[in-house]
Chains A and B, each alone.
Chain A
Amino acid sequence: MTLTALAVLGLPFASFAAIALVRPLRQAGRLAGWLSIAAIACAFLGALVVWGSAPGTEALWGWIPGDEEPMVTVGVLLDDLSAAMLVLVTLVSLLVQVYSLAYLADEPAPSLGRYYAYQSLFAFSMLGLVLSPTFVQMFVFWELVGLCSYLLIGYWYDRPSAARAAVKAFWITKLGDVGFILGIVLLWGATGTFEFSELFELARSGQIPLAGLSLTMFLIYLGAVGKSAQFPLHVWLPDAMEGPTPVSALIHAATMVTAGVFMVTRTMPLFELVPGVLTLIAWVGAFTALLAATMACVESDIKRVLAYSTVSQLGYMMAAAGAGASAAAFFHLGTHGVFKALLFLGAGAVIHAVGTNDIFRMGGLFRMLPRTGTVFVIATLALAGVWPFAGFFSKEAVLAGVLHGHLAGPFVLLALTAFLTAFYMFRVVFIAFFGRPHDVHAHPHEAPPLMAVPLWILAGLTVGIGLRFVVHPLEGEHGPSWLAPLSLGLAAAGFVLAWATYQVRVVSAAMLAALFGPIDYMARRRYGLDALYAGLYRAFILGFSRLVGWVDRYLVDGVLNVLSAWTLRGGDVLRRMQSGQPQDYVYGVAFGVLLLFVWAQFWR
């Protein structure tokens, strides 16, 4: 099984290396794409084999030598968690890569080759992260994932906004990563090992010193805050929409943002030692969920609505993880990965067809794009948590987990978010797909087969996963009997409000906005967080730069200027001594010799 897992890991890397190193292949564009797709398809099959064999193995090799045994090991950790992640990552990567071939058909061939090199590297990085048996390996791949997200968000690097968004995503996640690596090192200092299995063993037998562990785990959690876009480091994610739409699907569904949740889930035995940090994670997650949901309600860019909904759903997962229900968190991660990929790819198909991101410039699309509309509505129903779609079950599991963890506050926030989720998603559906067409003369075209097939596969999975849990109800933790009606009722209320506001227009959107005046005002300005960071940047970085600049310009340069001015003036004075007459110099020499004689005669 280890060999299969290594093959799953190695295939995308091989395709990356081939595309990156073989220049004609990269220049060929579509050929590189097909190679990358073939590699990830084989990896997907391998992942299915690994998943089907009920894995539970760990293989370790020494990396950095230590005194007796290696200080740092690398290897492959195969359990249910990593096997399920393998399937999710390879599946979504595969579908996204197939979809990209049509979506980016107009790109020049060398750019397309570059794109597929990044895609393969991204898949490799995420698979390596998922398989990590040690913190060090996880951190290495964690950073690789960050690098790939930077490369892909900035794929259209000649657009200033894309370049800026890529840098922003990179820096903001690095902010969290500083905490992550500090936490890893602190944990190593306390326990002397990086390996998860040893750490869990120590945690189980209570051998990890609890003093300072809260700080350590909080620092490790900071890494997840950056990667999984938790408040207050979520600001990079909406801007990441500057990348091509399939990239957004990949980042939001299978890679990058799930890394944080995966890491918390993976290291749950350690987090369980520090209940305070877990409670914080739950509160931050729930707060993030609600905050992002309110911002999604006022956004008019279809991709940004989805981006905020991703932030919101990540809040759900983190809240569940914080409540100790890591299984529920992971469950939601999986289902969300499927239907969020579907939503993004569907949105991509819409954007491909109409050529704009603005939902208010769409309208009536369902009649023109019935198939795209159908899959988008399916994904919307799943995201809103409507029975019997996949999202319903995972969302209920999350809510049950949070309730079971006796976290009433986060539960209320999450319930409110469930209502808002249904509202903002159906707001998009009603504005973009129903309602009056914006431009009656436009004739948008349905997606080409390469784009449509991934959509249908994901739609089938969204329904199929849901139906599977209708047939075989989820074993394990169940919420109270009123939970399912409550979440369904909230979703229905959101749907009805969106319907009344944007479809039959009995409720005026302006009136709603006025009713929630301050929230509307703040949400439109992203709660001032971007402005706050810009202000902090200006105040601290620019202020500090200005101070350093002053020191350099006036102190350092000043000293040098004074020195050079004195040298000049001194030279000017000494210059006058040079008469140019050799006789004067000889006179000086003779006088000097005379002085020497006198000195030798009388004072020596």
Chain B
Amino acid sequence: MAAPGLSAYLVLAALVFAIGLFGVLTRRNAVGILLGIELMLNAVNINLVAFARFEADLAGLIFTLFVIAITVAEVGVGLAIVIAIFRVRRTVDADQLNLLKG
């Protein structure tokens, strides 16, 4: 069995991105939305690593390291916000959080 080509990785990344986006758009729980964002970011990571591998360019790997680091920070801040909201509103349902409604 031949090793999978670049397009296989890209398709995988696109699928993961789409699943993540679907999660972000449809989940009503704020934690679920954060999980969706994680999926989308990791889809991008797959892209970057795949291109780094097939184009023999280390820049993609370095980018990926940055993205992982930032993702960790983002999850930390995001979950902290979610907990803060939960303390005030007693809910993390995105439908209830509509203070910006026009």
- Residue numbers of A with Cβ under 8 A of B are 574-583, 586-587, 590
Choice from B24, B25, B33, B101 contacting A580 with Cβ under 8 Å: B101
B52 at the binding interface (Cβ < 8 Å): no
Choice from A576, A578, A586 contacting B100 with Cβ under 8 Å: A578
Which 4 pairs show the lowest CB-CB distances between chains A and B?
Answer: A578-B102, A580-B101, A580-B98, A580-B100
Residues of B within 8 A of A578 (CB): 100-102
B15 at the binding interface (Cβ < 8 Å): no
B94 at the binding interface (Cβ < 8 Å): yes
State whether B21 touches A590 (Cβ < 8 A). Answer: yes
B95 at the binding interface (Cβ < 8 Å): yes
State whether A583 touches B24 (Cβ < 8 A). Answer: yes
Choice from B21, B94, B102 contacting A582 with Cβ under 8 Å: B94
B56 at the binding interface (Cβ < 8 Å): no
* Minimum C-beta distance from B39 to chain A (A): 14
State whether B99 touches A580 (Cβ < 8 A). Answer: yes
State whether B100 touches A583 (Cβ < 8 A). Answer: no
CB-nearest residue of chain A relative to B26?
A583
State whether A580 touches B102 (Cβ < 8 A). Answer: yes
State whether B98 touches A579 (Cβ < 8 A). Answer: yes
* Minimum C-beta distance from B13 to chain A (A): 15
Apart from A579-B101, A583-B24, 19 more pairs, CB < 8 Å: A574-B102, A576-B102, A578-B100, A578-B101, A580-B98, A580-B99, A580-B100, A580-B101, A580-B102, A581-B94, A581-B95, A581-B97, A581-B98, A581-B101, A583-B25, A583-B94, A586-B25, A590-B21, A590-B25
Chain B contact-residue range equals 10 to 19
Residues of B within 8 A of A580 (CB): 97-102
CB contact under 8 A between A586 and B24, given known A581-B94, A581-B95: yes
- State the CA gap A576–B102 with chains docked (Å): 6
CB contact under 8 A between A575 and B102, given known A581-B94, A581-B95: yes
- State the CA gap A577–B101 with chains docked (Å): 9
Residues of A within 8 A of B99 (CB): 580
- State the CA gap A579–B97 with chains docked (Å): 10
Residues of A within 8 A of B95 (CB): 581
- State the CA gap A587–B97 with chains docked (Å): 17
- State the CA gap A577–B25 with chains docked (Å): 17
State whether B24 touches A577 (Cβ < 8 A). Answer: no
- State the CA gap A582–B102 with chains docked (Å): 13
Choice from B25, B33, B100 contacting A587 with Cβ under 8 Å: B25
* Minimum C-beta distance from A574 to chain B (A): 8
Mask: chain B, 74-102; 1 = CB below 8 Å from A; 0 = not: 00000000000000000000110111111
- State the CA gap A574–B98 with chains docked (Å): 17
Residues of A within 8 A of B33 (CB): 583
Residues of B within 8 A of A574 (CB): 102
- State the CA gap A533–B61 with chains docked (Å): 94
- State the CA gap A590–B37 with chains docked (Å): 13
Q: List 17 A-B contacts (CB under 8 A).
A: A577-B102, A578-B100, A578-B101, A578-B102, A579-B98, A580-B97, A580-B98, A580-B99, A580-B101, A581-B95, A581-B97, A581-B98, A581-B101, A583-B24, A583-B33, A586-B25, A587-B25
